[in-house]
Amino acid sequence: MTRRSRRALPATLTALVLLAASALVAVCAIQLTLGERPLLPYDSLVGSLHDTTWSAREVAVAGGVIVAIGLLLLLVAVVPGKARTAALDEHTAVSVRGLRNALRSAAQVDGVESAAVKVRRRRVRAVVRTRRAVVEGLGDTVRTALENRVGEFALARPPQVVVRVKAPRSTS
């Protein structure tokens, strides 16, 4: 069970472009029906399109742009998004955000001022900051705490834990 991110941005942009084009056509049709001058000059637009042949350069460029946009949208739809969950077993999962927050709180051992945790498919990276001058053993302590917390989650594929300690003046 791996939930993937939604494709909200491309879908929203496509919908807005289609909505704008539909609204423009509807406004022009209503203006023509009422006998008013349309927003887009219908006669000159139709005249220029009627004079254009299929072998014209403008038609080829417009077709290429439309094909490129279509292929881009197809690629966005087909390529899997970023996983939003980490599998516990084949039927249950935990959100990556929740896992990251739990690991960030587990990294707050004695001597750690702040912790930043990144959860990936195969690796958990933690960068902890401390004000200690001597940081010997702090990285191992944080790694052990993180590995214990990962073990509590019982993930289907436990990630490797990597810890980096940042200190103002490190002597080790």
Tell me the pLDDT tens digit for each residue of 21-78: 999 999 988 998 999 988 888 788 888 888 889 999 999 999 999 999 999 988 888 8
CA distances for 148 relative to 128, 158, 166, angstroms: 17, 11, 22
170 has a pLDDT exceeding 50: no
Two tokens, residue 120: 């990936």
pLDDT of residue 81: 75
Flag whether pLDDT at 125 surpasses 50.
yes
Residue 163 CB: number of other CB atoms within 10 A?
Answer: 22
Give the type of residue at 73.
L
In order of 18, 45, 154, the CA distances from 29 in angstroms are: 16, 14, 62
Q: 149: how many CB neighbours lie within 10 A of its CB?
A: 18
Confidence label for 4 from pLDDT (cuts 50, 70 and 90): low
**Domains recognised in the chain with CATH numbers:** 8-78 (no CATH), 85-166 (3.30.300.30)
Rg, the chain, Cα only: 28
Total length of the chain: 172
Q: What is the mean pLDDT of residues 107-118?
A: 90
Q: Which residue's structure tokens are 């927003």?
A: 39
Tokens encoding 169: 């003046």
Residue 98 and residue 85: Cα distance in Å, rounded?
9
Q: Is the pLDDT of residue 141 over 50?
A: yes
- pLDDT the model gives residue 32: 87
